[in-house]
Structure 1
């Protein structure tokens, strides 16, 4: 049995955008906590709950949403690119390898390529977000950050951390889409929309958790590179520095809030994306 006929790019883009914005509105505070823990080389935050309490107590509840403008603006093109690129690269690879149905190895390859594609869209937004989420940030909004970056380093300065972002997204997307394909292949065929939603939520959560395990070390060094530390420049040497100076466990700083966000968040993404795609498929095929 072949995969469903792909919808035009515009429907993939819109579905991805809707899924991305839905996920970030629910999960953003966990992203703030994750970034704080990743930038913390002195162990000032003792766990996720402690970090949440400290931020609220010392900086106010609204601090948990500081910098959300950049992710909101990023999420539509980012998630849209993620799913649209995954579908487009999937079509490309299936044609190149002469198959009509996605295989496990092609799902991993497609996810990795889609992740690399997505990275070029998200780097400037990620850079702005990290600088706003940092506790020592002197910036009040996106405009100030962008102006400062361009003034100091030029337009290309907006792509600081591109290499580490590439690794982060390649690892996450390969794990996410690869495992979703594997898990779906052993799931029973859904008998109704409720079962389909539960299966999508389960597959997305498992895929998001696995992708997070795969890419957290890259995310840690990406955050430090983009925060402005001159000690960290390239991904793999930076991984060695962090492990050597702070221990291997430091490569997984921020893992709990990250996995709490991207595990269930991955489920939310997949459920909203597939629901939107089903909706648009009905409109498209009803023409």
Structure 2
């Protein structure tokens, strides 16, 4: 019975995050091909033969890859965190009830992280002996609710999977974390993809026009 359960969980884990992947691929592919078509229409404007050069196809593909990476990066982050969360099962416990007036951001505590007021008081007593360089050190500490959990460390990425929690705990910039490697990857791929596609398309047209009489322009 246990083996069957583990096998079912393994098969489910293979497709963890597929919803985020689909949601990211659909607008990403639309942005890639839409950007390419717009740029190639600009290149072909006024030309009699309605032809795109290989270099122009590559430049349009590079630009389209950058747009695709910008659209898909948030969904890639959520997909990866969903995959990590499925590989590391966490025990869910209800967070303790804490007065929201004193700590308004404690509602951001994640399941499995129980507030510990003694840890908070100990951290405050340790930091009180230091010369504060921050104008509002206590307010800054309240921005990090995981200080109350006892470890003093941020939550694991597998704990922050919902977009609202990602934005609340890490800010909007976290959704586009890793954008530069994604832009480099998609730019190279889209540039090679569209330039090769244009080469194959031209080769097929040339091959079909060999036996035509008269030969087309």
TM-score (norm: length of structure 1): 0.41
Tell whether 2:182 aligns with 1:165: yes
Deviation at 1:131, TM superposition (A): 1.6
Q: Answer with 74-83 or 180-189: which moved more.
A: 180-189
CA gap 1:103/1:153 in 2 versus in 1, 3 angstroms? same
1:53-94 CA distance string (max 9 Å, x none): xxx859421111111110111122111111111101111233
Q: How does 1:47-86 map to 2 (within 5 A)?
A: 57=7, 59-86=9-36
Map Cα deviations across residues 130-173 of structure 1 (whole Å, 9 max, x no partner): 2222344869x998332332122112211111111111110110
Please give the residue correspondences for 1:179-258 in structure 2 after superposition, counting only pairs within 5 Å: 179-187=196-204, 188-189=207-208
For 2:59, the equivalent position in structure 1 comes to 109
CA contact (8 A) 1:128 1:142 kept: no
The answer to whether the 8 Å contact 1:69/1:142 transfers is no
Contact 2:57–2:191 at 8 Å: present in 1 too?
Answer: yes
d(CA) in 1 for partners of 2:89, 2:47: 49
Residue deviations 1:251-271 (CA, integer Å, cap 9, x gap): xxxxxxxxxxxxxxxxxxxxx
Q: Distance in 1 between matches of 2:159 and 2:35?
A: 27
1:116-127 aligned within 5 A: 116-127=66-77
Q: Distance in 2 between matches of 1:96 and 1:157?
A: 44
Q: Which runs of 4+ in 1 moved over 6 A?
A: 96-99
Q: 1:93 to 1:125 in 2, by over 3 A?
A: same
CA distance in 2, matches of 1:94, 1:128: 39
Over 3 Å counting, the alpha-carbon distance change for 1:71 and 1:58 in structure 2 is same
Q: C-alpha root-mean-square deviation of aligned residues, in Å? A: 3.2
Deviations 1:185-213 (A, max 9, x none): 222449xxxxxxxxxxxxxxxxxxxxxxx
**Alignment match of 1:151 (pick from 168, 175, 195):** 168
TM-score for the superposition, normalised by structure 2: 0.53
Change (3 A) 1:143 1:84: farther
Larger Rg: 2
Does the residue aligned with 1:144 lie in a helix, a strand or coil? coil
Three-state SS of the structure 2 residue aligned to 1:100 is: coil
